[in-house]
Amino acid sequence: MATTNKKYAKAVYLVDGRRTPFLKARGRPGPFRHVELGIYAARALLLRMPFEATEFDEVIFGATMPGPDEANIARIVALRLGCGDQVPAYTVHRNCASGMQALDNAAMSIASGRSDLVLAGGIEAMSHAPLLFHPKMVNWLADWWAAKSIGARLGVAASFNPRMLAPVIALLKGLTDPVVGLNMGQTAEQIAWRFGITRGQMDQFALESHQKLHQAQQNGDLAAEIVPLYDSKGEVYELDDGVRPDSTLEKLGKLRPAFDKPYGLVTPGNSAQITDGAAALVLASEGAVKKHGLPVLARLVSTEWAALTPAEMGLGPAHAIAPLLKSQRLKIDDIDYWEINEAFAAQVLAVIAALKDRDYCKQQLGLRSAIGEIPADRLNIHGGGVSLGHPVGTSGARIVLHLARVLQQKNAKSGIASLCIGGGQGGAMLIERSVS
Amino acid sequence: MSVTIVDWQQHCDEDGILWLILDKKNTDTNVLSVSVLEQLDGLLDEINGSLPKAVIFRSGKAKGFIAGADVKEFLDVTNTQEALIMIKRGQKLFSRIAALPCPTVALIEGFCMGGGTELALACDYRVALDDDATRIGLPEVKLGIHPAYGGVVRATAIINPLKSLELMLSGRGLSARAARSIGLVDSAQPARQIERAARQIALSPPARQQMPLLGKIISLPGIRNLVAGYMKKQVAKKAPRQHYPAPYAILDVWANYCGDNKRMMEEEANSVARLIQGNRVRNLIRVFFLQTRLKGLGDKKSFVPRHVHVIGAGTMGGDIAAWCALRGFSVSLQDREAKYLGNAFRNAHRLFGKRLKTTAQRNAALDRLIPDINGDGIARADVVIEAIFEDIDAKHAIYREVEARMKPGAVLATNTSSIPLETLATVLKEPDRLVGIHFFNPVAMMPLVEIVKTESSSGEAVEHAIAFTQHIGKLPLPVASSPGFLVNRILMPYLVEAFTLYDEGVAPEAIDKAATDFGMPMGPVELADTVGLDICLSVAQNLSQAFGIDVPGGLGKFVDAKKLGKKTGSGFYHYKKGKPVKDKDANLGDQKMIQNRLVFRFLNEAVSCLQEGIVADRDLLDAGIIFGTGFAPFRGGPINHSLEEGIESIVQSMTDYAGRFGERFRPVDGWSLLSE
């Protein structure tokens, strides 16, 4: 039931959360599949909770490319966590914001009174995205299996062409918009062009992302939220491994454009990495917090979803942040910290530029004036997708979790987490906590 | 003859199939006692009188098909004649089943062992329930005999002998699917199909199982002798013929008489009748009952733990945690930093890969093993096991922290082997709750766990520790808190004697041969190398303080030179690919003297332990030593062996050795207790 200020009708508490280290995809399937990542994150979280896994009312995870034997990954994770047969679970998909969608669904469920205790988050193992047979090969196989006689078989065999064996890389297909025919990187080039973002600015942003993450790792700013992983060979994974502490502008400058060759500005160095990772959060109603004596990290206050042309999907955050601030009667200065998912350095820079741009705000966002400038020292203070990676189904949950930790660390009141969404959408979530 | 049928039920269904249900009175487990077989004989008279469409054998018990013959009845057999009568009666009965003109089907659910399998083999068809509880095997070899009711004959006639002989030699139990794949059963079916399967097979009998071509070739005369010879060599690696004649007897019966069923049946019977002679079988049956006794200690229902927390992810802690997860418990494993858990997970993956058959089972076990650097699992643990390195201060620090965070009523246990419980408990607010749960290395293979209690240990804590040990499938042995407890205490003088002999110039090969000839699975020198000479030295030093054993200098020299045994590639022996390189021409010296010196030290210490009440009684001592050290099981344990040899004779010899070799051989006072 929507109220005029679009807050969740009842208080929704973020109790705690954990995530796995984010592991960069390195050309072959990584050591952990979707389910394992989800279980590592959620299991460690559950160990600290004073209630049993069976006491969740439901489990909701975002994931965009679970494997064929991982249908409704949330249900598989729930069962393997020991939630028992009787806790329902479902998986959501809103492309890059699937993790945030899971949190939004959980919040709405709690706000409506349907649930009191929900496990929600995001899971993605992009390195396990499959290689597919080309449709010509699939049809050939169908013919082969249907052929009954030796003569028929010979006929099918004769139609075989080795070129049919070339696999289709599912990941590339998934990262290309099928309606406008642009891949994600090209949409970033598009909005960089629109707002005059230079290569130098993109690389500088990327460099800072790595530096901030490296610094955060040194300071232990991420230790509280990360659960180490152990593979079958006994290797231990404790840190986000995409970070490049030795990155320099010079090195970044040498990289070639990846999406608009050869003249583009968006390179692998100033784009988010392809990554495996999962995040799990416990959300609770006031009643559940009281009943179990739960600690509280923050409250989820409100979420906005917006849509725009897929060709400029990177500006999605601007389209979601604007109405979020308006409905909550807040200004940019009222927000203490920001997490905007770094799908591309160009994309975050374009969002910042758009929100500052009076014409854009008037024409595209229906506002009377520009919203303002998001302060750089309050944005992604411990790094972001460029250095951390962007496991598609997970990032939406990670940024909310980390934002809550930042607010706690800095004893701050409010934060906004936002992502651009492939296909032309944007999501933004406002969280708050009580300052001491 | 008219026998009252009390253990069998029968009913004829609407298709004309006669269902014979075995539901032995007054027991949860079906065994083929003489009475049960007599009743079956009577039933067969009726069946032959009015033939049903088919016969299906099934168990009426909640658990299991048939566990085998009644082992207790074996003990009543006192001579070869009696044995032959009993065996031939069983053979005749099963041959009657095999000869029934109508189709016969065995519907096997749960365990099916020994005589139960032989009954199933006498049927035309076998259908097994495809679930985790079903295990089908012929484990008679573990009791020093082999199948005698026609099992050897029929198993090698239907199934490829390589597979069926392997089954009989190892005594392993097969799952329904594994049994299907070697042809031991015709079909493995889930519960929802098994009755329909049995019925359809009974009403429309399919073609009978044929021996595959390879099996026929192997069964040919000449070839089968070669095969038998090869298999004997394989068996000899683990079970030397002088102590374990049963496996060789199986191979002889097959190799010499295969093809002539009548003769082979006779020889099967004669062979087992011969094997029953002497004490060996009696002692192996004793070991079986000792195991049953240990399995029955405590009350599993009184304490049903769900979560276990292990502190210390070294070899022992990591393996304990993995074992508990394997057995279905959720386990949190803690160490100081994440990197110390890596090896534990690698080893856990290996254990689950070996012991669990399906991916889902392995995943479930891995899901249950939770890395826990912060100790978050302590608050929900029913059992906390501390398994860190042997340092009093470090352990004290852990106990202080853990006691504050533990659930009331949870068990606090330590795996320590060398620090007294009394010393460790001093920092606890409730010192009575600390117990020792002492595992042996490697955890997955060693069945025994010593449950260590002090004078003041709370009865409830000890009971819970015993129940926990039962739940994880280990054999609990309550022991007093005394240095070395039972197993290490008795092993140490034996190992020290081996080192002493080595220092005197005896070749390690000679020392080890004397021990393996006695029946130890591995000689003391190789054992020390395998455990690790640094560990041996530290345990020896620890126990020598308490018991005044002199630790020979040679051991220290090895450790100083960093030659720690198998793990460093070299100790007393050199190691190649994990196997010791032994000198075939080593001087074996006076084997009798060497063996006596080793055995007397072992026995003397065992009697000391009995005298001091380290364990509650002789049988528990024997059980502990057999399951903790592999002490020649066919001797029934050190105390049993001493009684069989004759206390006076041993005491006499030991006194003599005391004069010749040193006071350490002087029989301790406790020997007088045994001569009563």
Instruction: Check residue B396 and give its pLDDT.
Output: 97
Contact A47 B372 (CB under 8 A): yes
Enumerate the H helices of B440-523 as residue ranges.
459-471, 487-503, 508-518
> Among B349, B367, B371, whose Cβ lies nearest the Cβ of A228?
B371
User: Cα–Cα distance between A155 and A148 in angstroms, integer?
Assistant: 11
Name which of A40, A236, A237 to mutate to probe chain B: the one with the most chain B Cβ atoms within 10 A of its Cβ.
Answer: A236
Residues 6+ apart with CB under 8 A from A318: A351, A354, A355, A360, A364, A365, A426
Q: Please, are residues B322 and B348 in contact by the beta-carbon 8 Å criterion?
A: yes
Q: Which of residues B243, B277, B311 is at a domain's end?
A: B277
Residue of A nearest to B381 (CA): A47
The CA distance from A63 to A96, in Å, is 9
Is B640 contained in some domain? no
Give residue-wise pLDDT tens across range A273-307: 999 999 999 999 999 999 999 999 999 999 999 99
Return the number of CB contacts < 8 Å for A and B.
50
Contact A236 B376 (CB under 8 A): no
Three-class secondary structure of residue A228 per DSSP: coil
Burial readout B562-579 (b: 16 or more C-beta within 10 A, e: otherwise)? ebbbbbbebbbbebeeee
| Together in a domain, B463 and B502 | no
A35, A47, A231: residue with CB nearest B370? A47
Listed residue (B446, B421, B455, B420) closest to B435, CA to CA:
B421
Residues of chain A contacting residue B360, judged by C-beta atoms under 8 Å apart: none
Burial of B500 (0-12, 13-18, 19+ CB in 10 A): buried
Distance from CA of A44 to the nearest CA of B (A): 7
B353 belongs to a structural domain: yes
- The rounded Cα B339 to chain-centroid distance in angstroms is 35
Residues 334-373 of B with CB under 8 A from A: 338-339, 341-347, 349, 363-364, 367, 370-373
- Find chain B residues with C-beta within 8 A of A228's C-beta: 338, 341, 371, 373
Residue in chain A closest to B346 (alpha carbons) equals: A234
Q: What is the least distance, in Å, from the CA of A233 to any CA of chain B?
A: 5
SS3 label, residue A49? coil
List of chain A residues whose C-beta atoms are within 8 Å of the C-beta of residue B373: 228
Neighbours of B226 (CB within 10 A): 11
CATH number, position B605? 1.10.1040.50
Statement to judge: residues B566 and B586 lie in one domain: yes
Q: Is residue B618 a contact partner of residue B535, using CB atoms and an 8 Å limit?
A: no
Query: pLDDT tens digit string along B466-493?
Result: 999 999 999 999 999 999 999 999 999 9
**pLDDT given for residue B2 in this prediction:** 66
pLDDT at residue B436 in the model:
97
Q: What is the CATH number of the domain that holds B414?
A: 3.40.50.720
Q: B40 Cβ partners below 8 Å, 6+ apart?
A: B8, B20, B93
Q: Which residues pair with B413 in a beta bridge?
A: B385, B435
- What pLDDT does residue A1 have? 43
Residue numbers in A near B319 (CB within 8 A): none
Whether B637 maps to a domain, the answer reads no
State the CB neighbour count (10 A cutoff) for residue B589.
Answer: 18
Residue A47 to residue B364, Cβ atoms within 8 A:
no
Is B376 touching A (CB cutoff 8 A)? yes
SS3 string of B305-321? Answer: CCEEEEECCCHHHHHHH
Q: How many domains are there within chain B?
A: 3
Give the tokens for residue B488: 């290490």
Residues B471 and B413 in one domain: yes
Task: Report residue B546 as tokens.
Answer: 């308490």
Establish if B75 belongs to a structural domain: yes
Which tokens is B453 given? Answer: 């209690």
Instruction: Give domain status of residue B287, yes or no.
Output: no
Answer yes or no: do B338 and B466 share one domain.
yes
Confidence of residue B676 (pLDDT cuts 50, 70, 90): low
| pLDDT for B491 | 94
Which tokens sit at B130? 């495809």
State both tokens at B313: 């992810």
Q: Which of B330, B341, B363 sits opposite A230 (nearest CB)?
A: B341
Residue A375, C-beta contacts closer than 8 angstroms, at least 6 positions apart = none
Contact (Cβ atoms closer than 8 angstroms) between residue A338 and residue A374 = yes
CA–CA gap between residue A369 and residue A175 (Å, rounded): 34
Based on the fold, state whether residues B523 and B447 are members of the same structural domain. Answer: no
* Cβ–Cβ gap B349/A232 under 8 Å: yes
Residue from A47, A70, A222 to probe the interface with B (highest B Cβ count within 10 Å): A47
Q: Do B435 and B495 have their domain in common?
A: no
Structure tokens at A193: 């062009």
Residue B628 inside a domain? The answer is no
The CATH number given to whatever domain includes residue B244 is: 3.90.226.10
pLDDT at B608 over 80: yes
From chain A, which residues contact B within 8 Å (Cβ)? 35, 39, 43-44, 47-48, 50, 80-82, 227-228, 230-236, 238
- Residues of A noted as catalytic: 96, 390, 420
Q: Does the pTM of the predicted model rise above 0.90?
A: yes
Contact between B376 and A44 using a beta-carbon 8 Å cutoff: yes
pLDDT higher than threshold 80 for residue B309: yes
Cβ–Cβ gap B345/A231 under 8 Å: yes
A232 to chain B: which residues are within 8 Å by CB? 345-346, 349
Residues B464 and B492 reside in one and the same domain: no
pLDDT at B1: 52
Count how many Cα atoms sit within 13 Å of the Cα of residue A197 in the half-sphere of its side chain: 28
Q: What's the pLDDT at A5?
A: 77
SS3 at position A292: helix
Q: How high is the pLDDT of residue A214?
A: 97
Q: Any bridge partners for residue A58, and if so which?
A: A118
Residue A436, C-beta contacts closer than 8 angstroms, at least 6 positions apart: A411
H/E stretch holding B56 reads: strand B54-59
B85 and B129: one domain?
A: yes
Q: Which domain covers residue B584, as residue numbers? A: 488-613+646-674
**Contacts (Cβ under 8 Å, ≥6 apart) of B303:** B382, B463, B464, B467, B468, B471
pLDDT tens per residue across span B547-580 = 877 787 888 888 888 888 988 889 999 999 888 9
The mean pLDDT value for B306-327 works out to 97
> With an 8 Å Cβ cutoff, is B588 touching chain A?
no
Reported as a single tens digit per residue, the pLDDT across B500-519 is 999 999 999 999 999 999 99
The three-class DSSP label of residue B347 is helix
Give yes or no: residues B499 and B442 share one domain: no
Tell me whether residue B285 is in a domain: no
Question: B562 to chain A, minimum CA–CA distance in Å?
Answer: 26
Question: H-helix or E-strand containing B534?
Answer: helix B533-547
Report residue A37 as tokens: 């990542």
Cβ neighbors of B101 (< 8 A, separation 6 or more) are B51
CB of A10 within 8 A of CB of A111?
yes
Q: What is the DSSP letter of A335?
A: -
Q: Which residue has the tokens 């009403």?
A: B203
| pLDDT of B647 over the 90 cut | yes
Angle between helical axes of B115-122 and B80-99 (0-180°, round to 10): 30
Domains of chain A (ranges; CATH) run 184-221+300-431 (3.40.47.10)
Q: Does B565 touch chain A (CB under 8 A)?
A: no
**B485 within 8 A of B448, measured Cβ to Cβ:** no
Q: Kindly report, residue by residue over B39-96, the tens digit of the pLDDT.
A: 999 999 999 999 999 999 999 999 999 999 998 887 888 788 989 999 999 999 999 9
Residue where a domain terminates, one of B482, B510, B526: B482
Q: Does one domain contain both B65 and B180? A: yes
Residues 6+ apart with CB under 8 A from B216: none
Spatial neighbors of A64 by CB under 8 A, at least 6 apart, are A93, A95, A98, A124, A174, A392, A393
Same domain as B475, residue B515: no
Alpha-carbon distance A194 to nearest alpha carbon in chain B (angstroms)? 47
A290 exposure class (CB count in 10 Å sphere: 0-12, 13-18, 19+): exposed
| Mean pLDDT (whole number) for B533-558 | 84
Q: Which of A50, A82, A236 is facing B339, going by the closest CB pair?
A: A236
Active-site entry in B146, B307, B309, B438: B438
Between CA B253 and CA B271 the distance in angstroms is 8
Nearest to B124 by CA among B186, B211, B178, B44: B186
Q: Could you say which of B482, B513, B535 is where a domain stops?
A: B482
Q: 3-class SS at B584?
A: coil
Put simply, the answer to whether B332 touches A47 (Cβ < 8 Å) is yes
Cα separations in angstroms, A233 against A226, B341, B344, B345, B350: 21, 11, 10, 8, 9
Question: A117-125 and A275-284 as β-strands: parallel, antiparallel, unpaired?
Answer: antiparallel
A43 and B377: CB-CB below 8 Å?
no
Residue of A47, A233, A234 lying closest to B376 (CB–CB): A47
DSSP B405-461: HSPTT-EEEE--SSS-HHHHHTT-SSGGGEEEEE--SSTTT--EEEEEE-TT--HHH
Q: Do B380 and A47 touch (CB under 8 A)?
A: yes
Q: Are residues B530 and B475 in the same domain?
A: no
The chain A residue lying nearest B349, using CA atoms, is: A232
Cross-chain Cβ contact A231/B330 below 8 Å? no
Q: What's the rounded Cα separation, in Å, for the pair B346 and B315? A: 11
Per cent of chain B over pLDDT 70 is: 100
**Phi, then psi, of B337 in degrees rounded to 5:** -135, 160
Residues of chain A predicted below pLDDT 70: 1-4
Type of residue found at B8: W
Q: Based on the residue annotation, tell me whether B438 is a catalytic residue of this protein.
A: yes
Beta-sheet pairing, B307-311 with B330-334: parallel
